[in-house]
Structure 1
Amino acid sequence: MKHEWLERDNIVRRKGISVDEFVLGFETPNKPILLEGCLDKWPALKKWDRDYLVEVCGDNRFAVGPAQMTLTDYFVYSDQAQEERPLYLFDPKFANKVPQLGQDRLRSSVGSGSSFHIDPNSTSAWNAVVKGSKKWVLFPPDVVPPRVYPSSDGAEVSCHVSIT
């Protein structure tokens, strides 16, 4: 691996970038970027906390790995999770189950994460950290990370241990 890949913060950070600049400088050449300030005016930043989300979500059950859990149960689980690959709350029908939240989507909570994977249909990820911090490790498209084994067509990835 190249030394610069291992540097802590080597992804371009930009605030107030135009759509054209984003498409030409990052989307078209397939380069990662950290967009700053995108959530500054998002009402959920002030409104969303555990109590509010638990109240709004009520008894709705959400996809958490292979299981279905209420948000209350997920918070209990995530507070105690110590396994290397904790379950990740990701429910594509989240907004349908909780219309009050509209287009807002809850992707994860404390202690969540995912192993190496390829997003379906070659999608690009848009992630936002509402509270706390999140760590991403990105590799160039032509580099297979250590101990990661892609299928011959590149559609699936298996990994026996995490990057940590």
Structure 2
Amino acid sequence: MTLNLQDIPRIKTISKEDFIKHYFKPQKPVVIEHFIDDWPAYSKWNLDYIKAVAGDKIVPLYDDRPVNYKDGFNQAHAKMKMSDYIDLLKREPTKYRIFLWNILKEVPQLQTDFTFPDFGLRLMKGLPMLFFGGKDSYTFMHYDIDLANIFHFHFEGEKEIILFDQSQNKFLYKVPHALITREDIDFHNPDLKQWPALKHAKGFKTQLNHGEVLYIPEGYWHYMRYITPGFSMSLRAIARHPKHLGKALYNVFIMRNFDNLMRKLKGQKWIDWKNKQAIIRTSKYNS
């Protein structure tokens, strides 16, 4: 038995008005296949190009190790020159990923390769972020702290994506005081005997190819696995739904600080307690 996932709808392109009406207002995901064909990035952006323009940059790397109480929020696990990292990606599978790499700050010339698209939402202009990964590397199932609307543009190769909306929280083994599910769940091939509540979760799936953009609505959980080495760029627009905005403010100003305090006070016992609670709280919904 596998997860209950429906294919995310795919369209060739879309007007601002139709996007707002059919996807933003109902908060439904969509893949737009040919929205950025006129961007220079569409023809230029691949791993070799990034190596050429950013090869000398030192980049933070992350792998799939479980959260440790000693780790700071988004603290890198290693660092490497971008040229060496791209060589590694092309040579062999690696768990090392780059995420939240601000291209405006690091390589301003890349900004001339794209324009901020008009989807009818005000995009945060200072926060275009790049994400890189090698074959079979993945991000844990999580949602973003600010519950933003995300436009995820993929370059080079293929990427598997699974989404759930916030109404599915009770089935996902969500870790309390955190933005992740249990990290030992393999959403690519989940063991439904070990994680039976997942049978009740209803979500979405797709594979992104070069030049395609995925709209991820506010607060959606997302799991991403690189089928081949590649990279993506995310543009964001602030959450508009009052409930999501309130939750975003709570996450940023209360939840994150409380979690950091408890890590300092209780250490690994706090992480272990949270992981146990994820099972206890979800087990009510197994039947």
TM class by shorter chain equals 0.7 to 0.9
Which of 182, 187, 191 is equivalent to 1:163? 187
Q: Measure how far apart 1:2 and its partner are.
A: 10
Higher mean displacement: 27-36 or 63-72? 63-72
Query: What residue in structure 2 maps to residue 124 of structure 1?
Result: 149
User: Is the counterpart of residue 93 in structure 1 residue 105 in structure 2?
Assistant: no
Question: 1:34 Cα shift?
Answer: 0.9
**Root-mean-square deviation over aligned CA pairs:** 2.8
Equivalent position amino acid for 2:79 in 1: Q
Which residue does the alignment assign to 2:87?
A: 76
Question: For 1:55, what is the secondary structure of its paired residue?
Answer: helix
Q: How many residues align?
A: 157
Structure 1 gaps of 5+ residues are none
SS of the residue aligned with 2:23?
helix
Residue 154 of structure 1 deviates from its aligned partner by 6.2
Q: Greater strand percent: which structure?
A: 2
TM-score (norm 1): 0.78
Structure 1 partner of 2:131: 107
Which 4+ stretches in 1 moved above 3 angstroms? 103-106, 144-148, 153-158
Q: Deviation at 1:60? A: 0.9
Would the alpha carbon gap of residues 140 and 97 (structure 1) be closer, same or farther in structure 2, given more than 3 Å must change?
closer
**Letter aligned with residue 81 of structure 2:** T
Percent identity of paired positions between Structure 1 and Structure 2: 25
1:143, distance to aligned residue in structure 2 (A)? 1.5
Matches within 5 A, 1:13-162: 13-65=10-62, 66=76, 67-78=78-89, 79-81=91-93, 86-102=95-111, 106-111=130-135, 112-144=137-169, 148-151=173-176, 155-162=179-186
Could you tell me how far apart the structure 2 residues matched to 1:73 and 1:162 are? 29
Could you tell me how far 1:146 is from its partner in structure 2?
6.2
1 or 2 for the larger relative contact order (CA 8 Å, sep ≥6)? 2
SS in 2 for 1:90: strand
Q: Residue type of the partner of 1:107?
A: F
Return the index of the structure with the highest Cα Rg: 2
TM-score (norm 2): 0.48
Counting helix residues as a fraction of each chain, which structure ranks higher? 2
- Matching residue's letter, 1:162: D
Which amino acid is the alignment partner of residue 72 of structure 1? Answer: S
The whole-number CA distance in structure 2 between the counterparts of 1:31 and 1:45 is 25
Tell me how far apart the structure 2 counterparts of residues 115 and 155 of structure 1 sit (CA, whole Å).
Answer: 10
